[in-house]
Chain A
Amino acid sequence: MKFFVSILLTALLSFALCLFLPWWVIAISGFAVAFAIPQKAGLSFITGFLALFFLWAGLSFWISAANEHLLAHKISMLFINVDNPILLIVVTGLIGGLVAGLGSLTGRLSRKLFTA
């Protein structure tokens, strides 16, 4: 239960903060949620990772679908030299996931220090 709640909260907090703040607040969202809802350290990382993977891959897929993937074709050629919008969406998700996952892990480890 904690696991799913953490994922949902991390994603929601990230989305809300990104409306006003730079993209890397997703790490802070992961940190805050993992700090507030303690899980095993490894699980915290996975929580943050999945939250942002789904958020960023989901958002970019939704935007790209409305765009009929016109821009994603071009950007995937520009960045990874492959004409593959889905791959670009996956890369987007991975980047968000990694940053938030590390943020979550740091949050969890901070709490351990705090409670020790």
Chain B
Amino acid sequence: MRILPLLLSAAATVALIIILNTKLVAPAPLGALLSPQHGLWQNAEPANKDFSADIKFSELKGKASVYFDEKLVPHVFAEQENDVYFVQGYLHAKFRLFQMELQTNVAAGRAAEMVGEVALKHDQEFRRLGMVYAAEIALKEMEENETTKTSCDAYTAGVNAYINTLTESTLPIEYKLLGIQPEKWSNLKIALFLKLMSNDLAAHDIDFEMTNAKQFFTKADFDLLYPSVQDSLDPIIPKGTIYNIPAMKPLPPPNVDSLYLNKGFVSVEEFEKPNPANGSNNWAVNGTKTKSGAPILCSDPHLGLNLPSIWYEMQLSTPSFNAYGATFPGSPSVIIGFTDSCAWGVTNGGRDVRDYYEIKFKDDSRKEYWFNNEWKQTTFRIEEIKVAGKPSMLDTVAYTVFGPVMYDKNFNGGRQTNDKNYAVRWKAHDKSNDLLMFNLMDHAKNYDDYMAAVVHLKVPGQNVAFASKGGDIAMRTQGEWPAKWKGQGDYIMPGEDSSYMWQGMIPQNEIPFQFNPERGFVSSANQKPTDSTYAYYLGREYPVARGLIINKRLTGMQQITPQDMMALQTDNYNIYAEQIVPVLLKNVNVQMLNADDTKYLSILKSWNFRNDANSTGATVYNEWYKKFKSAVYDDEFAKAPKPIQLPFESTLIEATLRDSAYKFFDDITTTKIETLADEATKSFKEAVVVLKEQSNLEWWKSKDTRINHLLKQEAFSRIHLNMGGGRNMINATTETHGPSWRMVVSLTDKTEAYGVYPGGQNGNPGSKFYDSFVDKWAAGQYYPLWMMTKDEVKDERIKWVMNFSN
């Protein structure tokens, strides 16, 4: 009988190990994760960690030294040009490997492989959009160019050199938590990362929403709701600029009224829409406006806020170039930054470069479609979507002359009523080698170099600001943009022949730009690039507010210092509130207000139109405006087909200022004709009901900015940040979105630069460098950016040195 206790004990031991080593019973393999020699404890980086090391890699052609300063920013000095990219890849991997893996798998529609079924819809949508197809085309272009090919090869080798050093205990914490292993890096992954940025920045369209709006509203109402030019527009290239006679004139097809502008409803809802707030600010002033007499350039790209941050700060230095700035883990080169002689920054161009065509298939096999009076063959791309813990899903995507058929009977995109087929024509599917622009900018010395570099950027198109120590400033609304006839691509287009296809691209010599303008500054904030005298159609939907306030401020500023620029970048002034609050206050019927209402009204009356962190007026305004907008539009939109576009942000503000008898003030569900006063009063009382439920009216509490970990784990996120700002303000910080890298560069003889981003240099949540910049960023403060020189290797700011050799 002695064997029974033994068997029991042995079975219990094995069972316990299985439970603690797998996810079969418990939600996590706690034994593996808590073993101090293998698991998460190994990621608890000592506070006094020594990052210094001597490392040998046979791939290197010479020596390279990395000097880490007290912010853990690496200053990389390489003897050989491409070694600097090897080291960049190595450091990106060392500090940010998991985000590189996740972002490229998100781009490739492979997220479900990592996180399971929850990402399946995303993956299918991205496969159907042709993200991998786009990356493969980009990879070919990238590898045909000697410069980008060799820099990417070196970068990839650097990433893989780091991956090869990893052991079970040194794996980044997220790999341990998800129970996955890193995949080998490749140049395709660089292309995938860049296409992810194209998706973020050049895939925002409202074609389905606008198609429905066009059908639902009368022409007069439609024009009131979606004006093609805003009253307040202050374009990137100032009004009155003379443009060249265009080399081409895109013409609409003759049947445009019957086949295009008056067709039926559609009901596709994208599962994941790129955030329309993916905007940015940049500007440069020349020496006439600064105290030092040297130009100052400022850039702050607004993106989704995540930990680890999308940016990693570095200096890259070789005998042929020296650049400092924000880099993308996942790509070689400095993306936004400065060299020894100039600086550059980007904002999103935001034009519509993704259109849809309705496809007629011969039958359910999708093998043929009707095009130019004949049945034409489709080609198929078979997508295998792997799912962690589940069988793979297979999806076959049909490709046409327009591009992939994104929506068809196999992928309904949330459609309710019809089963039409829509192919997507997306600029990011075209050939381009955009990375070359950043490689060349890192080498740029003057305006000519900038012009030679910038034309390589085709998608995502960006407004690229430039300033140099030579005294020049410039702004180019860069990109390869389809030359469209008026209205082309605003709605779903017929796809049965070539007549609605894009007719060509705007020639590069007709791209609107500004060079050393008389006003002494250039600026962009995602507003429409030009006034209506520019020959090509630019679409309807652009934000206007930030551009307006930036230009107003810059016009008034003289003797500018870098500190003035920091104050401007973090300015919380609410220009929309300045415009509309007096009108609303004038119209609200005070006799209808009770004692509580009056109390909140007095808060608003004494408000200074600034959305500072502790402002209570900002919270009252925000709630009132939300309710006011609902009161004005909800009745008209209640019966509209979904999805539908709501009026653009500036529309209601401008309509209220312009026309106190704006048609939409009337509530169509009542017999009475409501006025602005009725809507203002009703919405204010509704807002007070909501406000009374809030114990603390301070704006930062109401806005509640947070920076989520990429896996949305709250323990790894920074939540409830005490800071001001908001939509349509220069400091465009909303709940989960905002300035992702603030940079101010004064191009004096010795460059004086400042910067900060909402994150930290080390992606490991167990490192004190994980979120070390967040508090300073939230407080609107900056770090000096140190362009280190080789003779400063003994400087006390240098804390660790990594030596690379072959």
Contact = CB atoms under 8 A, between A and B. Distances in A.
B579 interface: no
B530 to A, nearest CB: 49
B13 A103 contact: yes
Contact of A109 (B5, B31, B40, B42): B5
B715 A59 contact: no
Contacts of A116: 2
A113 interface: yes
Contacts of A75: 40, 715
Contact of B9 (A56, A74, A106): A106
Contact of B2 (A18, A24, A79, A112): A112
A1 interface: no
A18 B38 contact: yes
Contacts of A102: 9, 12-13, 16
Contacts of B32: 22-23
Given A67-B45, A68-B47, A99-B31, A109 B6 contact: yes
Contact of B46 (A18, A19, A67): A67
Given A23-B31, A63-B36, A103-B13, A71 B765 contact: yes
Interface in B1-59: 2-3, 5-6, 9-10, 12-13, 16-17, 20-21, 28, 30-32, 34-48
B35 A23 contact: yes
A6 interface: no
A20 to B, nearest CB: 10
B716 interface: yes
For chain B, give the interface size range: 35 or more
A10 interface: no
Interface of A is mostly: helix
Contact of B38 (A22, A99, A109): A22
B3 A27 contact: no
Nearest to A61: B36
A36 interface: no
A70 interface: yes
A88 B16 CA distance: 19
Indicate the member of A75, A77, A103, A106 with the most B CB atoms within 10 Å. Answer: A75
B766 A59 contact: no
A27 B9 contact: no
B9 A95 contact: no
A84 B9 CA distance: 33
Contact of B37 (A15, A71, A78): A15
Contacts of B71: none
Contact of A105 (B9, B17, B36): B9
B16 A99 contact: yes
A91 interface: yes
A66 B13 contact: no
Contact of A59 (B3, B5, B13, B41): B41
A79 B46 CA distance: 22
Interface in A68-116: 68, 70-72, 74-75, 77-79, 88, 91-92, 95-96, 98-99, 102-103, 105-106, 109-110, 112-113, 116
Contacts of B9: 102, 105-106, 109
B98 to A, nearest CB: 15
B13 A63 contact: no
Contacts of A47: none
B714 interface: yes
Interface in B700-719: 713-716
A89 B671 CA distance: 69
B415 interface: no
A66 B44 contact: yes
B37 A70 contact: no
B252 to A, nearest CB: 57
Interface in B448-476: none
B121 interface: no
B765 A63 contact: no
A92 B714 CA distance: 22
A23 B37 contact: yes
21 contacts: A23-B31, A24-B31, A63-B41, A67-B45, A68-B768, A70-B767, A71-B44, A74-B716, A74-B766, A75-B715, A78-B715, A78-B716, A79-B28, A79-B30, A91-B34, A95-B31, A99-B31, A102-B9, A105-B9, A109-B9, A110-B10
In the A-B complex, the 9 residue pairs with the closest CB atoms: A71-B766, A23-B35, A67-B44, A59-B36, A109-B6, A66-B46, A102-B13, A77-B715, A71-B44
Interface of B: 2-3, 5-6, 9-10, 12-13, 16-17, 20-21, 28, 30-32, 34-48, 168, 713-716, 765-768
Given A22-B21, A22-B168, A95-B34, 19 more contacts: A23-B38, A24-B20, A24-B31, A27-B13, A41-B5, A56-B36, A59-B36, A63-B46, A67-B45, A71-B766, A72-B44, A92-B36, A99-B17, A102-B9, A102-B12, A105-B9, A105-B13, A106-B9, A106-B10
